[in-house]
Amino acid sequence: MQDQPFRVIVIGAGPAGLYLARALGAAKIDYVVLERALSTFLERGNHLLLFPHTVRLLHQLGLYDEAKKRSYRLRRKVDITKSGYVLSDYSMWDLLEERHGYPTLPIQRYDVLEMFYKSIPNKEHLIKTGAKVTSINETDQGVEVELEDGTVETGSVVIGADGVHGMTKKYIEEAVSRAATEATDTPRFDIPTTSQYYSIYAEGTNTKKIPSGIFYETRDTGRAIQLGADDDTLRIVLYRKLPQQMAGPVSYTAEQTEEVAEALFDMAVAPGVTLGEIWPDFHKHTARLVNQNEGFTKYWHTDRVVITGDATVCTSSVNGLGVNCGLHSSVALANQLQQAVFSSAGNPSTESLRKAFARYQYIRERELKAIYIQAYSSMRQLTWDSWKDWFIDRFLRRWIGSDFFVRKYLNPLVCKGQILSYVPFEGVAALLPWKWTPEKEL
C-alpha cells in the first residue's frame, strides 16, 4: 500500500459522499466511492431544505442554476394550530435571501443526488454500486476495505459517509475502545443515537391549490405537520411521538404508514385544509415512514479512518438543517485533507492525517453541538412535549418575534458556512459577509 499514490475510499453515495467525490476531484485527489445499494439515487427519499450557505456551495460547483430548476422559491413561513388558526406569518425565507444573497431551496433528496452524480467526471469508474463493505483494516501505510463479493479496495484513508447506522462509525468506536484512550481524552459531547419520534415523508399533487412558496407548520401535542407547495406539487412531513424510545434501524410497512397518517387526519395543513382532505392526493408508493434519529458521536476518526454527515451528528428534520450540516462537514474535511496532501507533495504521513482529521472535528464540533441542541428543543416545542415547550412555542416565541430568531440564530449560522478553500469562486453579493472564502493563491 505504501507504494501506491494517495487514494481515498469513500463509503456511502448519499449527498455527503457524492459531494466529497466532487470535492476530491477538484483537489486532484484519487478516490473511489463504494455504495451498497444497486443505484446511487432512488425515487423514494426525504424532502430537503438547502439553506443559503449550502446553495452557495452548489454555486461554487456550478450547480446553482440546475438546483433552481429542480426547486421553487420559498417566501414565507406560516405557523398554525391543528384547527388552522394562524399563530404567525412572516417572510423568513425572503429575509434570509435579502441578507445572504442566495435563496433557500426546497428540493427532493433524489434531485440532489442526481445533480451531484451527473456532474462527476468518469463516474462510471469512480462510483461502484452493489459494493457492500464487510471489513476495514488500517495500518501505518494505508487501508484495505473488503467487500462482500471478496474483492478488496486499497487506499490511503477511508471516509465513512454511510450514515448513522453505518459500519464506519462502528469501526471507529471499536478501534478507539481497543486503544483504551478514553481515560486520557479531552471530554467530548456524546449523545447515543436514539429515536423518540417518527415521520412520514410524502409527495403529492396540489389539487386544493394551496399557495406556492409558503412553508406551513402545524403543531399539536405529540404530533406536527410541515407542508410546502408549488403550483403543482405538495411535499409534506408528518411527525408523531413514538410510544417508546427506540434505537437501531427500523423498517415499517405500508399499512403502518397509513395508520400513522390517519392519526393526523384531523389536523390542518393550511388554513381551511386538513390532512384527511389531501391525503388521497399523495403518492403512496413513494411515501416513507422512518424514525427520527437524534445523536452526537463522540469519536470521529482514527489515524486513517474518518466519518462525516449523519455518522457524526444526526438531528431531527424539524429545522431542515440535517443535509446542510453534512455537506458543510464534508467541505471542512475536504479542505483539511487537501491541505495535508498538498503540503506533503502527495504523501502525507499517518501523523499528519491524524492531525488533519482532529482539526476537522474541532472546526465542526462546536457549531454542530449548537445545531443539535436547537433541533432537539425545536422538535419538542413543535409537538408541545411539555407545558414548558407549549408555553415557549405558543406564546414566548410570538412575543419575541420571528425576526429575532432569524437575526440571532440563522444569520450567524449561514454566515459561517464553509467553502472549498482551493476552488476559485465569486459568489452572489450579500449584505452580510461570509466568514470563509476561497484562498486567493495556493
3-state DSSP call for residue 198? strand
3-state DSSP call for residue 113? helix
3-state DSSP call for residue 160? strand
Amino acid identity at 12 = G
3-state DSSP call for residue 383? coil
β-pair partners for 350: none
| Residue 197 phi, psi dihedral angles, 5° rounding | -135, 155
Would you say 416 and 325 are in contact if contact means Cβ atoms under 8 Å apart? Answer: no
CA–chain centroid gap for 321, Å, is: 6
Map grid coordinates 411515501 to a residue.
Answer: 287
- Rounded-to-integer distance, Cα 326 and Cα 293, Å: 14
What the block records as the C-alpha cell of 411 is 444569520
- Quick check: is 226 catalytic? yes
Would you say 96 and 415 are in contact if contact means Cβ atoms under 8 Å apart? Answer: no
Would you say 255 and 177 are in contact if contact means Cβ atoms under 8 Å apart? Answer: no
Would you say 36 and 161 are in contact if contact means Cβ atoms under 8 Å apart? Answer: no
The residue annotated as part of the active site, out of 108, 226, 336, 338, is 226
| Residue 226 phi, psi dihedral angles, 5° rounding | -120, 130
- Rounded-to-integer distance, Cα 160 and Cα 173, Å: 13
- Rounded-to-integer distance, Cα 390 and Cα 380, Å: 9
| Residue 374 phi, psi dihedral angles, 5° rounding | -65, -45
- Rounded-to-integer distance, Cα 116 and Cα 14, Å: 10
Would you say 311 and 169 are in contact if contact means Cβ atoms under 8 Å apart? Answer: yes
Catalytic positions are: 226
